[in-house]
Amino acid sequence: MNVNIVCPHCLKVNRIPKKDSYTKANCGECKESLLEAKPLNGNASILATYIANSELAVVVDFWAPWCGPCLQMAPHFDKAASLMPLQAQFLKINNDDEQSLGAKYQIASIPCVLVFKDGKEVDRFTGARNSVEIEDWVRKYV
């Protein structure tokens, strides 16, 4: 079985075999590693590209630089992402810079993490969680 994923470097869609783990996977367009699992700093257009094209769960952290719990959760979100390369795709959205997205998705308080599957939001949580809690939550949707 193959899945479409979005390259975090050039945003081109790649079709790759679905596996439980990968030793090597490079983008057909830009040749960068698709195993790069650091969350991508996104915006409205990047988020739309991911939601429309990725067949993996798209996990989106809405945060802001002044938000203490957001900063506290950031390394945990990074760690959860690093443990799931090509199992889910992780984005961060600065809620101050992308207020139209905050309104669209009715983000009432941050950090707020949404997961999208097949183009639709399927779940969310609000408030800081640690890496184990984030990973367990995301794995329900991979």
CA distance 26 to 105: 32
Our finding on whether 15 is near Zn ion (CB under 5 A) is no
The correct pick among 10, 48, 52, 132 for binding Zn ion (CB under 5 A) is 10
Taking the CB of residue 2, how many other CB atoms lie within 10 A of it? 10
Pairing of strands 112-117, 120-126: antiparallel
Write down the least CB distance from residue 108 to Zn ion, Å.
35
Q: Closer to Zn ion at the Cβ: 54 or 95?
A: 54
Write down the least CB distance from residue 135 to Zn ion, Å.
25
In the block, which residue shows the tokens 């996977």?
25
Our finding on whether 53 is near Zn ion (CB under 5 A) is no
In the block, which residue shows the tokens 């690093």?
82
H/E run at residue 125? strand 120-126
The correct pick among 2, 4, 15, 29 for binding Zn ion (CB under 5 A) is 29
CB 34 within 8 A of CB 86: yes
The correct pick among 5, 16, 27, 56 for binding Zn ion (CB under 5 A) is 27
Which residues contact Zn ion by CB under 5 A? Answer: 7, 9-10, 27, 29-30
Residues forming the active site = 67, 70
